[in-house]
Chain A
Amino acid sequence: MKKDVLQRNNVRIFGKGEQAMIFAHGFGCDQTMWRFITPAFEESYRIILFDYVGAGKSDISSYNTERYSSLQGYALDILEICETLELTNAIFVGHSVSSMIGVLAAVERPEYFNNIIMVGPSPCYINGESYVGGFERADIEGLIETMERNYIGWANFLAPTIMGRKDKPELSQELTESFCSTDPVIAHQFAKATFFSDNRKDLAKLKIPALILQCSEDIIAPLEVGNFLHQQLPRSTLRVMKATGHCPHMSEPDETISLIKEYLEC
């Protein structure tokens, strides 16, 4: 089991510190997206990187449509990694949807975590009555369509998915070498699980402290959402960043690093 989970999720561990810092990538990417951030923490922490099943260099044959139909399945990936590595008091850093996946994991097993750092989080993307999520259902369907079209362009994605990739190892090889490449069916399901999720009711259950890193002008997680989260999360700190867009850890790594350090050191 131990080796299986670490291999399945392509877990990489490095760094000189004792306390674990587990970085979870967002939708559409893999663990390499953290490469501008982790060097700043290597000295003082034990860095844990992984890919969700279906992303990056994870074991695609472990993908299970039922399991990953909900963010709960992705939270299970995290819990199984924590269990395998026997983590306690870990710092969880999640980008985008991984912030909520982290909340689900920490609500179920609070003992694994010390606190959660959320980069561009949103508990619900779709607008509701008296709630601004930023999107309508049609926008998300449009996104899925855009994704599908891009898979046509990337010829290797034409291969039938999930089932029977073992007979063509060279295909998966090619697949894993391109960054942010995911099997289209898996990406499609992840998009649905992400953008149709509503975790607002789970926020009050989070017992551990959280840092919300809110970008300026983030169309995926607008400022209203950051404020809402701050209001609903019992022990949260909200920091509005100068960085714009949805990926401050890539566009403004220095600001991201210094805000995380400030939070951890106080």
Chain B
Amino acid sequence: MINYLDIAPCGYFSFTDNGALQEVNSTLCLLLSYSREDLIGNKIDSILTLPSRIFFQTHLFPLLKMQGHAEEIFITLLTKNKTQLPILLNASNQPAQGNNCYTCAFITVHNRKKFEDELITAKKEAERALHENTALQAVKQELQKHAKELDEQLGLVNKINGELRQINRAVSHELQEPLRKISFFTQILKDSPHAGTDPNFNINIERVLRSTARLRAVIFGLQQFMWLQDAPVAYIEINTLSLLKDAVKKLNEEFGPAIMELSIGELPAIWGDQQQLELLFYHALSNCIKFRKEEKAYISITGTIIEKNHFRMIPDKYEYREFLRLDIRDKGMGFDPRYKDQAFELFRRLQVIIESTGIGLALCKKITEKHRGFITIDSRQHEGTTLSIMLPVRHPEKI
């Protein structure tokens, strides 16, 4: 029987788990121009073309291992003279010869391959046409739907913007003016000869002055917030490190030169609005200072380029772009991470301290989103906070 198999009009071979050829028949040797001795013990890879080797490793071997058999597998053998031999292969695990032995029989498919070539070309053509047509129809429908939605959204946005502008005006003038007067008259009271007659008088006057100062800071923050609503992003190439240092300089002027200890990693350049990004860095770092645990704020800043889908609102739209992720870590008070989603809300203060106005992180979020970026915060109480700001590396229109 074994002699019949040896000269049968089909190729036959067996191999083990590690890919070594165990048996080959004469038909196979003849087809590949090898002698039996050339092949036994060699890896099956040596008689496969490169693409077929990958296919063997990624598909055929896992299939055999999991299922125990595989039928009608198309692969290409490589002869000793480096010519290609397309074959159709059946393979199965033969428990009789040990669990890790696979026997294979194949026939050559030169002519069938030509026929299949034509079939594949025709099939691809048909699929392409079908796909293009279906895709086109879908795009058209999407476009119409979006145009309608966009129109409604724009109307709504316009209305809200108008209202916001009115509020902004009210905040700037209507609140600013009485506040200025309160400060002015309180100052007069403080300097008046009656001051000091009552020991509580000066304490209360100081309280009024502190509260007005705080109110002024809040109004200033709100104005910045409102300004950002309308301000366009004036894109220029930003030297991230030097802009960060500008923000640090301002904070040092405000809080003192020894207020923070910074370690800054390598930071690549990005495109963005210089003024807005400086404000972003200022508020991000100012938060680290305000919520420090010790005399000094210990802050580390690292930058990593990552790729991210830049679509945020439309589901099922994907396009991956480069973002710079700035991780600003401090060893400050931190907060309960359960509340991290609320951290960016306007006037939401997770830790009540006097210097905090509850506007800084809301501004950070606003600026980041104006730049089509993403911002997240993570924190552990008493351990510290990490603010991650992801900003697009390139100009949005120059991609």
Contact = CB atoms under 8 A, between A and B. Distances in A.
A254 to B, nearest CB: 12
Contacts of A96: 58
A119 B49 CA distance: 24
A208 interface: no
A52 to B, nearest CB: 14
B224 interface: no
B127 interface: yes
B62 A29 contact: yes
A146 B88 contact: no
A146 B58 CA distance: 12
Contact of A244 (B43, B120, B127, B307): B43
B9 to A, nearest CB: 21
A218 B130 CA distance: 40
B45 interface: yes
Looking at chain A, what size class is its interface with the partner chain?
Answer: 35 or more
Contact of A28 (B43, B52, B58, B120): B58
Contacts of A154: 72
Contact of A180 (B63, B130, B308): B63
A154 B19 CA distance: 25
Contact of A179 (B63, B113, B316): B63
Contacts of A73: 318, 320
Contact of A139 (B43, B50, B304): B50
A139 B53 CA distance: 10
Interface in A25-67: 26-29, 32-33, 35, 64, 66-67
Given A135-B50, A163-B134, A245-B18, A146 B57 contact: no
Given A72-B309, A148-B120, A32 B59 contact: no
Contacts of B52: 142, 146
Contacts of B320: 70, 72-73
B304 A143 contact: no
A149 B121 CA distance: 11
B67 A179 contact: yes
A104 interface: yes
B34 interface: no
A8 interface: no
The winner among B66, B72, B134 for most chain A CB atoms within 10 A is B66
Interface residues of B, number: 50
Interface in A228-266: 243-247, 250-252
A150 B75 CA distance: 8
A188 to B, nearest CB: 11
A223 to B, nearest CB: 15
A33 B66 contact: yes
A163 B134 CA distance: 9
B61 A245 contact: yes
Interface in B364-388: 378
Interface in B56-100: 57-59, 61-63, 65-67, 71-76, 88, 100
A145 interface: yes
A111 B320 CA distance: 22
A18 to B, nearest CB: 20
Contacts of A26: 58
B73 A150 contact: yes
Nearest to A33: B62
Contacts of A148: 120
Given A66-B319, A179-B67, A247 B57 contact: yes
A121 to B, nearest CB: 14
A146 B55 contact: yes
A28 B62 contact: yes
A217 interface: yes
Contact of A107 (B50, B67, B116, B306): B306
A73 B66 CA distance: 27
Interface string B1-36: 000000000000000011100000000000000000
B60 to A, nearest CB: 9
A111 B49 CA distance: 43
Nearest to A244: B18
Contacts of A66: 316-319
A209 interface: no
B150 interface: no
Contacts of A76: 309
Contact of A32 (B53, B66, B72, B73): B66
A27 B55 CA distance: 10
A154 B74 CA distance: 10
A143 B55 contact: yes
A101 to B, nearest CB: 12
Nearest to A152: B116
A35 B58 CA distance: 16
B54 interface: yes
A104 B50 contact: no
Contact of B54 (A108, A143, A161): A143
A29 B131 CA distance: 26
A220 interface: yes
Interface string B143-163: 000000000000000000000
A200 interface: no
11 contacts: A28-B59, A107-B304, A111-B378, A139-B54, A150-B74, A158-B123, A217-B45, A218-B57, A219-B53, A244-B19, A251-B61
Ordered nearest first, which 6 A-B pairs have the shortest CB separation? Answer: A142-B51, A28-B58, A246-B57, A66-B318, A67-B318, A143-B51
Given A66-B316, A179-B67, 19 more contacts: A32-B66, A64-B318, A66-B317, A70-B307, A72-B320, A140-B54, A141-B51, A146-B76, A153-B73, A153-B88, A160-B127, A179-B62, A205-B305, A217-B43, A217-B45, A219-B53, A219-B57, A250-B61, A251-B17
